[in-house]
Structure 1
Amino acid sequence: MSQEDRKTNVPDFLSELDAGVFENKVSAVLNDVALGVLNNGGKGKVTIELDFARISNSMEEKRVEIAHKLKFSAPTPRGKRTEEDTTKTPMYVGKGGKLTIMQEDQGQLFSLQGQPEGKLKAIN
């Protein structure tokens, strides 16, 4: 596995946050703030904040919960309008720290002959 394979794919990462809703929120906020600045003057601001926490005390699970906060401030004719929105998404941490919504290596479930592999045989 090369160093490039271990990097988090940022466009995929952003599209997976909150099942794609976060990406839509960012798009809407960027448009809203840009229009506010253009129509009313003044400055606008968009802030994306990511907080990471391990989901359980077990290292075996290899998952983190990412709280993603979107804050913005847009100028209005008589001041400014601000809003803050926070949601959470669990993600797997793969080799090299790569973040994905689905586990990259789910192990070998079946043999070449199609029979259950390893632990699956013992659970009958």
Structure 2
Amino acid sequence: MKPTDTAEFIGELNAGVFASQIGHALSEVAAGVVDHSKVGTVTITFTLSQIASSHQVTVNHKLAYKVPTKRGSRSEDTTLDTPMHVNEGGRLTLFAEAPGPGQLFDRQDAPIHAKS
């Protein structure tokens, strides 16, 4: 079983924008923590739900962060969805992987069966 490539997975969410948002949040929180000697938080939440009866899921990805300030804190959150394919072994990718080299379908998945 080949597991989901985490870096690739996060990079594909919302066409790469989610990865940039994580970087921005981490930098904002880290700066606030150092500037004000208080604790900050960055929270990433993934919720997966199947799309109809397909081998696809909707990945709901939420980023929430809390930046410490001089007199308290400020927070922001964002939530978006990205459809992903579930491949062999549960591997999540933006595009479906072929079941074998050079082929898109297994013989039993052929849309039209050969006449006997």
Q: TM-score, normalised by structure 1?
A: 0.79
Where do 1:1-124 residues align within 5 Å?
3=1, 6-56=2-52, 58=53, 61-105=54-98, 107=104
- Code of the residue aligned with 2:68 in structure 1: it is P
Q: Distance in 2 between matches of 1:72 and 1:55?
A: 29
3-state SS of paired residue (2:104):
coil
Aligned length, in residue pairs? 104
Q: Distance in 1 between matches of 2:13 and 2:111?
A: 33
Displacement of 1:41 after TM fit? 1.4
Displacement of 1:119 after TM fit? 5.2
Q: Considering only aligned residues, what root-mean-square deviation do their CA atoms show, in Å? A: 1.5
The percent of aligned pairs where both chains have the same amino acid is: 38
Q: TM-score, normalised by structure 2?
A: 0.85
Q: Distance in 2 between matches of 1:95 and 1:28?
A: 33
Q: Distance in 2 between matches of 1:119 and 1:78?
A: 64
Q: Distance in 2 between matches of 1:27 and 1:15?
A: 11
Off by >4 Å, runs of 4+ in structure 1: none
Q: Which digits, 9 at most, give the CA deviation of each residue in 1:68-94, with x for residues without a partner?
A: 000101100110011110011000000
